[in-house]
């Protein structure tokens, strides 16, 4: 291991401290919220599309909060990896369970 470590050496680069940057994210989040509400009233035909759009906007907002407010975007790999695996396991739980509950032998009686 390198013994000549200085304070900033190897540390994550200092996250953006600019107030302007944070304000930009803030207004983007507010706009995103308004957009979500507005889009939910537009009839796209099938409910799935509405759900998809809402989740997409929510995903973008989540990325902004996690990336900039929580500084994930300037964080080291270790933490991003942990959160990445977590997201993967959560999605597996949800989709595999969903799949399991909708895959049954053809003669099963469902109400």
Partner 1 sequence: MSTYLNKFPPHRDDDRAHEHSHHDPGFWRTYIFSTDHKVIGIQYGLGALSFMLFGFFLMLLMRWQMAHPGEPVPVVGWLLEKTLGQVAARGALSADLYNSFGAMHGTIMVFLGVVPLAFAAFGNYVVPLMIGAPDMAFPRVNMASYQCYVLGGIVMLVSFFIPGGAAQAGWTSYSPLATSIPTDGQIFWIIGMALIITSSLLSAVNFIATIIQLRAPGMTWMRLPFFVWAQFVTGFLLLLAFPPLEAAAIMQLMDKVAHTSFFLPTGLAIGGQLANASGGGSPLLWQHLFWFLGHPEVYVLILPAMGIVCEIIANNTRKPIWGYKSLVYSALVVGFLSFLVWAHHMYLTGMGQKIATFFQATTMIISIPSVIILTCLLISLWGGSIRFNTPMLFALGFLPMFGMGGLTGLPLGLAPSDIHLHDTYYVIAHFHYVVAPGTIFALFAGIYYWFPKMTGRKMNEFWGRVHFWCSFVFMNIVFLPMFAQGMKGMLRRMADGGANYSAARVPGAIDTLPNSIMALHTWILWAAMALGLAQIPFIINLFWSIRHGEKVKSDNPWQSTTLEWQTPTPPPHGNFATPPRIYRGPYEYSVPGHATDFFPQNEPPDFVATPEVSTAH
Partner 2 sequence: MDIPYTVQPRPDTGVYNAKMGIWLFLASEVMLFGGLFSAYVLLRVGADAWPHGWLNIPLGTANTFVLITSSITTVLAWVSLKNNQFSRFKLFHAITLVCALCFLGIKSFEYRDKFMHYEITLANGKFADGHLIGKSRDFDLAKKTGSVTLHGYEVDQEVDLMDLHRPEARHIQREEITIPAVEIKKMGNYGPWHNTYTAIYFTLTGLHALHVIGGALVIGFLWGPGSRMWKTDPERFTNRVEVSGLFWHFVDLIWIFLFPVLYLL
DSSP string, 26-88: HHHHHHHHHHHHHHHTS--SSHHHHHHHHHHHHHHHHHHIIIIIS-GGGS-HHHHHHHHHHHH
Q: Which does 109 bind (CB under 5 to 8 A by kind): partner 2, partner 1, none?
A: none
Q: Which does 81 bind (CB under 5 to 8 A by kind): partner 2, partner 1, none?
A: none
* Complex with partner 1: residue 33 or 97, whichever CB lies closer: 97
- Name the one range near partner 1 by CB under 8 A: 22-30, 36-44, 64-72, 89-97: 89-97
Quick check: helix, strand or coil at residue 103?
A: coil
Binding to partner 1 (CB under 8 A) within 3-62 occurs at 3
């Amino acid at each position: 291991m390198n013994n000549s470590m200085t304070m900033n050496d190897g540390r994550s680069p200092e996250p953006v401290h600019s107030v302007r940057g944070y304000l930009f994210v803030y207004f983007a989040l507010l706009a995103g919220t308004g957009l979500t509400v507005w889009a939910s009233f537009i009839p796209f035909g099938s409910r799935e599309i509405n759900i998809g759009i809402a989740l997409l906007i929510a995903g973008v907002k989540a990325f902004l909060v996690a990336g900039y407010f929580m500084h994930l975007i300037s964080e080291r790999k270790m933490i991003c990896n942990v959160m990445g695996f977590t997201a993967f396991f959560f999605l597996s739980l949800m989709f595999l369970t969903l799949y399991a509950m909708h895959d049954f032998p053809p003669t099963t009686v469902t109400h």
